[in-house]
């Protein structure tokens, strides 16, 4: 179990316990946190689970696989700390992770 | 007016297999899809990616799966209406009247929504003022490239559409290609070509830049692009093109009075009918306890929904359950000659 904090674009903050093995995307969807659409269901095929990872966590998350950066080209306002939340698996090391959700997913 | 038994909305794998199941039980159907080809997400999102969980098919790509499904429904001569989005459903006595974005009308006994996560629409620029120019000097697709002759065009994106159009238009226009990073997702040969053209001064490549603002009165006159490190460049141009792929939108489906929960339509698992009699939903767009968003689940749902459609198309007949291995009627419908 890891505590993950999601900041939404309208300045709401949700901190939830997400089980190990789930992704940061699933943590949001299962807890009804708005702003993560995940249209393709975690297939790295749509970029609608785009989040900004708080800088200090960036190097603690496993690096992007091939294809994630390509999908981020399609995301709404991508930045250097952009990730697809379906590609971040929750582990004990990520306890305390903070991500922000962009104002839109498409 | 197109009159048929069932209208299927969505030509993805689930919709295609439902057409097969309708054909087997002797019902006619037609299929509407907003894309220009059949296959849905399989074709649009992962035509080349292998799928490993289709029963009895150890491995196939989205494109192969689509082609096989099209082959499987060939005997039923299903009519496709592509590049059309269903806009309106209206009950007309015991049947339904359906209207599409292209003005086509259908008179059907029932409707099967196999719409995935909605219809594919182009992804747009994040900058609000872009809307003002959309359709005249800011475009997300190209219908007539001659309008760009001798004009200055700013193209955004890093995939094949952006690269291919940049190369193509560099012959007749002054092209700027702007992309958010140094890497591209498009074909390597196109990336090389773009770099060559840039070196030869035949197009201007700007990487690590994104759109910051657009200005102009009726038409775009200039745009500002912003580098990762913050510096802003002004570019004078006549047209702006954005190629950021497609996004799925539920669109008009939201207005049909269906029970919708988290962008999915609630159904019963007996025949996948929605809260409205005669409207069924199958595949990724439907939800029920235990729903898995797998293609194989969509096939099962389509088989049951097809049988659910029967009583609306043929209210005076009883549907008998039969196997394709032994049913003469099914084999005849499949065009099998013995």
**Predicted pLDDT at B67:** 97
Using CA atoms, how far apart are residues B194 and B177, in angstroms rounded to an integer?
A: 9
pLDDT digits (tens, 9 = 90+) for A57-69: 999 999 998 789 9
Q: Which residues of A touch B244 (CB under 8 A)?
A: 73-74
Q: What is the mean pLDDT of chain A?
A: 93
* CB pair distance less than 8 Å for A45 and B293: no
Strand B174-179 relative to strand A13-18, pairing: unpaired
Q: Least CB-CB distance to A70: which of B45, B126, B185?
A: B185
* CB pair distance less than 8 Å for B46 and A39: no
Cα Rg for chain B, rounded, in angstroms?
24
Helix, strand, coil distribution of chain B in percent, nearest 5: 30, 35, 40
Using CA atoms, how far apart are residues B330 and B26, in angstroms rounded to an integer?
A: 8
Give me the sheet containing B232-236, strands edge to edge: B209-216, B220-227, B232-236
Q: Considering only CB atoms, which residues of chain B are within 8 Å of chain A?
A: 41, 45-46, 117-118, 123-124, 126, 157-159, 179-181, 183, 185, 210, 228, 244-245, 247-249, 263, 284, 293
Strand stretches in A1-106, DSSP E? 2-7, 13-18, 50-53, 82-84, 98-100
Please determine whether the domains at B2-121+247-333 and B124-244 fall in the same fold group of CATH. Answer: yes
Strand A50-53 relative to strand A82-84, pairing: antiparallel
* pLDDT of B307 over the 90 cut: yes
Q: Is the dihedral of CA B71, B75, B78, B79 positive or negative?
A: positive
| Domain residue spans of chain B | 2-121+247-333, 124-244
* CB pair distance less than 8 Å for A39 and B123: no
**Do A40 and B45 contact (CB within 8 A), yes or no?**
yes
pTM equals: 0.81
The average pLDDT across B54-80 equals 97
Place of tokens 């003022």: B129
Query: What does the DSSP 8-state code read for residue B317?
Result: S
* CB pair distance less than 8 Å for B181 and A46: no
* CB pair distance less than 8 Å for A43 and B117: no
pLDDT digits (tens, 9 = 90+) for B172-201: 999 999 999 999 999 999 999 999 999 999
* pLDDT of A106 over the 80 cut: no
The average pLDDT across B209-224 equals 96
Q: Least CB-CB distance to A46: which of B45, B159, B263?
A: B45
Which candidate in A29, A39, A65 is best for mutational testing of the B interface (most B CBs within 10 A)? A39
The average pLDDT across B54-66 equals 96
Name the residue among B212, B51, B206 with its Cα closest to residue B127: B212
Which tokens belong to B206?
Answer: 């700007």
Q: Which residues contact B152 (CB under 8 A, 6 or more apart)?
A: B173, B174, B175, B176, B236, B237, B238, B239
* CB pair distance less than 8 Å for B45 and A73: no
**Do B327 and B333 contact (CB within 8 A), yes or no?**
no
Distance (Å) from the alpha carbon of B91 to chain A's nearest alpha carbon: 30
Tell me the CATH number for domain A2-100. 3.10.20.30
**Do A99 and A5 contact (CB within 8 A), yes or no?**
yes
Distance (Å) from the alpha carbon of A75 to chain B's nearest alpha carbon: 8
The average pLDDT across B273-301 equals 97
Helix (H) or strand (E) holding B199: helix B188-199
* CB pair distance less than 8 Å for B46 and A77: no
% of chain B residues with pLDDT over 90: 90
Q: Least CB-CB distance to A45: which of B45, B157, B249?
A: B45
Using CA atoms, how far apart are residues B188 and B37, in angstroms rounded to an integer?
A: 26
Helix, strand, coil distribution of chain A in percent, nearest 5: 25, 25, 55
* ipTM field: 0.77
Which tokens belong to B74?
Answer: 């060939």
Confidence of residue B243 (pLDDT cuts 50, 70, 90): very high
Q: What is the dihedral of CA B149, B243, A76, B176, to 10 degrees?
A: -40
**Predicted pLDDT at B258:** 97
Count of A–B CB contacts within 8 Å? Answer: 53
Name the residue among B293, B270, B289, B277 with its Cα closest to residue B116: B293
**Predicted pLDDT at A6:** 97
* CB pair distance less than 8 Å for B46 and A45: yes
Which tokens belong to B329?
Answer: 């009627």
Q: B124-244: which CATH architecture?
A: 3-Layer(bba) Sandwich (3.50)
Distances (CA, A) of A46 to A42, B139, B248: 9, 21, 9
**Predicted pLDDT at B120:** 85
Grouping H, G, I as helix, E, B as strand and the rest as coil, residue A93 is helix
Q: Considering only CB atoms, which residues of chain A are within 8 Å of chain B?
A: 37, 39-41, 43, 45-48, 69-70, 73-74, 76-78, 80, 104-106
pLDDT digits (tens, 9 = 90+) for B77-110: 999 999 999 999 999 999 999 999 999 999 999 9
Fold (topology level) of B2-121+247-333 = FAD/NAD(P)-binding domain (3.50.50)
Q: Least CB-CB distance to B248: which of A39, A70, A74?
A: A39
Q: Which residues contact B236 (CB under 8 A, 6 or more apart)?
A: B152, B221, B222
Q: Which residues of B touch A38 (CB under 8 A)?
A: none
**Predicted pLDDT at B262:** 81
């Amino acid at each position: 179990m890891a505590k993950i904090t999601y900041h939404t674009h309208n300045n709401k903050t949700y901190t939830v316990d997400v089980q190990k093995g789930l992704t940061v995307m699933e943590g949001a969807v299962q807890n009804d946190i708005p702003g993560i659409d995940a249209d393709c269901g975690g297939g790295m095929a749509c970029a609608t689970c785009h989040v900004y990872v708080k800088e200090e966590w960036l190097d603690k998350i496993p690096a992007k696989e091939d294809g994630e950066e390509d999908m981020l080209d399609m995301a709404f306002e991508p930045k250097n700390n952009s990730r697809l939340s379906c590609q971040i698996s929750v582990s004990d090391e990520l306890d305390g992770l903070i991500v922000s959700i962009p104002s839109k997913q498409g | 007016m197109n009159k048929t038994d069932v209208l299927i909305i969505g030509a993805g794998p689930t919709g295609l297999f439902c057409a097969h199941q309708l054909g087997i039980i002797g019902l006619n159907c037609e299929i509407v899809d907003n894309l220009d080809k059949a296959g849905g997400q399989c074709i649009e999102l992962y035509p080349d990616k292998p799928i490993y969980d289709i029963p009895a098919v150890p491995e196939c790509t989205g494109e192969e799966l689509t082609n096989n499904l099209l082959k499987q429904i060939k005997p039923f001569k299903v009519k496709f209406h592509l590049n059309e989005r269903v806009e309106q459903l209206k009950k007309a006595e015991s049947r339904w009247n359906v209207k599409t974005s292209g003005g086509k009308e259908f008179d059907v006994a029932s409707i099967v929504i196999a719409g995935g996560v909605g219809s594919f629409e182009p992804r747009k620029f994040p900058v609000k003022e872009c809307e003002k120019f959309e359709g005249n000097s800011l475009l997300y697709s190209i219908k007539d490239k001659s309008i760009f002759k001798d004009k200055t065009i700013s193209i955004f994106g890093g995939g094949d559409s952006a690269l291919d159009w940049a190369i193509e238009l560099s012959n007749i226009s002054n092209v700027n290609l702007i992309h958010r990073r140094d890497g591209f997702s498009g074909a390597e040969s196109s990336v090389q070509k773009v770099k060559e053209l840039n070196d030869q001064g035949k197009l201007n490549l700007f990487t690590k830049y994104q759109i910051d603002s657009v200005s102009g009165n009726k038409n775009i006159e200039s745009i500002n692009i912003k580098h990762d490190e913050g510096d802003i460049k002004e570019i004078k141009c006549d047209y702006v093109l954005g190629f950021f792929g497609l996004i799925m939108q539920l669109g008009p489906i939201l207005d049909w009075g269906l029970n919708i929960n988290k962008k999915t339509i609630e159904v019963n698992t007996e025949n996948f009918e929605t809260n409205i009699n005669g409207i069924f939903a199958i595949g990724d767009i439907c939800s029920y306890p235990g729903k898995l968003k797998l293609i194989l689940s969509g096939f099962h749902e389509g088989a049951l929904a097809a049988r659910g459609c029967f009583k609306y198309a043929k209210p005076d007949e009883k549907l008998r359950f039969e196997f394709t291995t032994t049913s003469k009627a099914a084999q005849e419908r499949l065009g099998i000659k013995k």
